Structure 1
Amino acid sequence: MKTELINTIKEKRGVVGIIGMGYVGLPLALAFSNSNVKVVGFDIEESKTQSINDGISYFKHISSNSIRNVTQKNLFYATTDFSEISRVDAIILCLPTPLNQYREPDLSYVTNTIETILPYLKKGQVLSLESTTYPGTTDEELAPRITKQGFTIGTDFFLIYSPEREDPGNPNFTTSTIPKVVGGSTEDCLEVGVALYECIIEKVIPLSSTKSAELTKLLENIYRSVNIGLVNEMKIIADKMNIDIWEVIDAAATKPFGFTPFYPGPGLGGHCIPIDPFYLTWKAKAYGVTTRFIELSGQINTNMPEWVIGKVSDALNKESKSLMNSKILVLGLSYKKDIDDVRESPSVELMELLKAKGAQIYYSDPYIPVFPKMRKHSFDLKSILITPELLQEIDCTIISTDHEVFDYDLIHAYSKLIVDTRGVYRSITSDKIVRA
């Protein structure tokens, strides 16, 4: 059965079903279909499946043409009907794995989906989990559910873990050019998984187990979290010493070895870096390990929005103004520049803190015209156009996300006060600019 499935995959006679048409699932579906592999995209949101079938993209960094190019060739369509899982050969889960209110892993999206598709699984399929999670999830949560259906993993059903490595808006890397880590529940599972991803990925890295692949993903993002936490702490120290942290980082980056530059900001955003470290700290407790280093960096990064608001309050005080009732404009709602993704965005956290302190809040982000529905946040706001008249009415402008489309010369010319969290004005000395 393994050989037959591998041949079906390599000869591109099979069908790939991808569950979750979000920032990971949609690019992955396009990568497979552009390689002449038929894809069925699954999602519980009919608006997404309808958009795909109509050839309309709902993400800024993915063009509608790229979708139409494959849907019109009958290589890709989307559905909310999960019974169609029975007609695919490979199933790939690209689902959210958030934290609950106690900062513990919430696998409900994954486990609920598995329960939904169990009746439609069949012998000879391969299932891959791409969602970020703690080591042991694939074997502890997915495998038992599959075996209860009467399948033997590694013999008539194949289970793998291969973490996503998408970086929305990064022009230097695509789904196909980013190396892909794969771990299998058995050696035969691994062999099938490697064959699956070699259809679209230039370099596939096989690992000895699903646990190793799961921990690899966590290490990648914890590495970034820890280093960002370090540079955010250095930013505070430099500020107290009246030193420009951006100048220091740029200077340190000239060293050709032993240093990789990381940059401070208003906090961590996206679905990975603010969340992944806590997946490991939670799991490590089961082994009697306290991850002090990881937790410390998480604490520093989590506190960054509070620190920024403190800088805003201090800057307004110097102008004899209170934060309460002041008009504050937040520039950029997405978690990083030039994309339309607001997941865990520090900009939203800044807005919550400003709201709690009684400020009048406005935001401008051309990629997010209306404040979206979010699990933890709700604002009845729309993006406003930046004009000289607007800036002159605003008491303080916070550069939270440094989109390239913003006219920073105009913002500098007409703003009364600017709190710069991204180093946009690092080369400018001005009384109206406060670095945060």
Structure 2
Amino acid sequence: MFFKNRVWRITKDEIEDYRPGEIECNVWADEVIDHKVKVLPDPFTITRNEQGEYDIKIENKECLFLRYLWNTSRVHWQEEQSLKRKGEKLAPEKRQEEKLHLINKIYTLGYLLHRYKDPSKPWAVFAMDNKISEDGESHGGSGKSIAYKAVRYFMKSVTLEGRNPKLTENPHVYENVTSHTNYILVDDANKYLKFDFFYSQLTGEMTVNPKHGKQYEIPFEDVPKLAITSNYALRDDSPSTYRRLLFSVFSDYYHEDKSGEYGRSWSPKDEFGKNLFKDFTEDEWNHFINTMARCLQVFLKYPKIDPPMENVTKRSQLTQMTQDFKDWADVYFAPDSYADQWIIKKEAYDNFKEHFPGAVRTKFNKINQFTKALWIYAEYRGWELNPVALGRDDKKRLIRTVGAPAKSTEHIYMQAHKKELFDLHGKSLDSNPQDISDDDVPF
């Protein structure tokens, strides 16, 4: 890193600090970061035990940016507030979950700051909210953009307007990108973003098509790194997409209170009494820059660090099956309803169509789409659809002959609230002759 008064060579173990001209290296004037810096003691310490488990200790609470990162990692902040009022503490495993969220954010920032393109690490950072919305709507204000706009202070960057639904259809989308651009931020991506559009820039060359110039290619080693922030989960959860993602998850500690759920809105400015970056003093800039340099060291030192993935997975599942389907399934498969029994699949589909005709028009106009949502819902709930013990076929279907005249009919069976299984006629399948006592058998 090049600054007005110093040059830093950052390795995984130390920051080597030089005066300008003390080491041989050339840099463009516009690559010099316009701040004076001083190396400070480590703002945090990250350790990894023999089991591969990470821990972090914050050593410097003066860095506002680091405090902001911690707050955006506090996914149990409301529970902690409630416990604190009773004189109790958050459970250790929940605190550990929050620590891992912070360590992951530190790692993602270090990854983006490191300009070398490693073909074995073809990742885009995808920043999303931890909160699983029950109304299917987005809830912004969690601070995702602040974190990944911070990277722009260290390198040449291009920001793309993610809300534009036709962003990936624009043939000139990269017209401002050059071989000197190090970073692209797709900010506030819409719910229909086609992530596969970015595959080529993550794993190969980038084609730039200026409006008033000749098309050209940027070689892989010079293609900018990519980060995406979104209030929505990705709709594509294919293995090829997940291999290319480094997720980052943000709590709702900072939030907008549009619905009155929280009682008030809360932002980093409310927390610190100033805007991050814009209102920084030179001392605060120095703390921020030191923290980012240490983030780079974390990336150099450790393998890929994912966040706790439970809510990442659940938000993706909710996006795929839709809120309408979940609302229907929550009622249809409630206790004392249609769970834990054989149901003709078409009858379940007809029930869904009756209650959510709008959803049928937009997504579920074919029964195979309904079937896919059933499987996703079962996984979302931790239940089992069409258990193997019921004799499903190689396509995971339950086919039985019913009716008059008799015909083969596809059924579904959502094992949800009961451990025992039942046959088509409601008889328990868990009765085992070996469990019957033979004490009185006359032989």
Under TM normalisation by the shorter chain, which class is it? under 0.3
The structure carrying a bigger helix percent of its residues is: 1
Q: What is the TM-score when the length of structure 1 is the normalising length?
A: 0.26
Structure scoring higher RCO (CA < 8 A, sep ≥ 6) equals 2
Q: What is the TM-score when the length of structure 2 is the normalising length?
A: 0.26
Decide which structure has the larger Cα Rg and report it. Answer: 2
